[in-house]
Amino acid sequence: MSLALVEPILRAVKDDRVTGLANTIARLGESGTFEDPGLYLSACPEHYARRLIWRDPENRFVVVGMTWAPGQTTPLHDHGGVWGVEIVVGGTMRETSFRLVDRDPDGRYRFIRAGERMATKGMAGVLCPPHDYHTFGNAGTTPAYTLHVYGGTMSRCNVFSAESDGWWRAENVQLGYDA
């Protein structure tokens, strides 16, 4: 991604307005800015593919391209304390958001489902801690492509596994890139 394409993102990040950044990302998406196939990896059968596109030299944000094979989805997760903006570049994605309602002394979490949306090409979303619990996955029959801007390097996050009693257990996992 060229510096010229990153400049509007950088301006929005400097203004410290995540909603403004989402609007900027949506406008850039409408103009086809993120449709360059070189930004995305081929679909990977084992997991959705993550490609680091840009890392701000001052670590204010990173831009990540993701490729999702049909049916690939994330588990319920947070964003490790980092805000994020996502846009669907191609395909159809399903996002289910959750709200944290309780946490017990044993480190278990209780969530309620807060909503679900189908996102198609050009639709952007915002995730800001502590309202960043969700699942995200390809709801279509062809590969899907998404672009994510995170407010720093998101190297770890909590992934939640449901227990039989309605509680969830967190596992802090390391995140990496496929390229």
Specify the CATH number for the domain of residue 58.
Answer: 2.60.120.10
- Looking at the domain assignment, is residue 66 inside a domain? yes
Is 10's pLDDT higher than 90?
Answer: no
- Is the pLDDT higher at 60 or at 47? 47
Reduced 3-state DSSP string for 59-92: CCCEEEEEEECCCCECCCECCCCCCEEEEEEECE
Report the distance separating Cα 175 and Cα 46, nearest Å.
Answer: 15
Report the distance separating Cα 116 and Cα 50, nearest Å.
Answer: 23
- Looking at the domain assignment, is residue 112 inside a domain? yes
- Across the chain, mean pLDDT equals 90
Confidence (pLDDT) at 51: 96
- Looking at the domain assignment, is residue 11 inside a domain? yes
Report the distance separating Cα 147 and Cα 138, nearest Å.
Answer: 13
- The tens digit of pLDDT for each residue in 75-126 reads 999 999 999 999 999 999 999 999 999 999 998 999 999 999 999 999 999 9
Helix (H/G/I), strand (E/B), else coil: 57: coil
How many domains are there within the chain?
1
- Looking at the domain assignment, is residue 131 inside a domain? yes
- Is the pLDDT higher at 53 or at 7? 53
Is the pTM for the entire model greater than 0.85? yes
Half-sphere exposure of 105 (CA within 13 A, CB side): 0
- Looking at the domain assignment, is residue 179 inside a domain? no
What residue numbers bound the domain in which 77 lies? 3-174
Q: What is the mean pLDDT of residues 8-18?
A: 59
* Residues forming a β-bridge with 119: 93
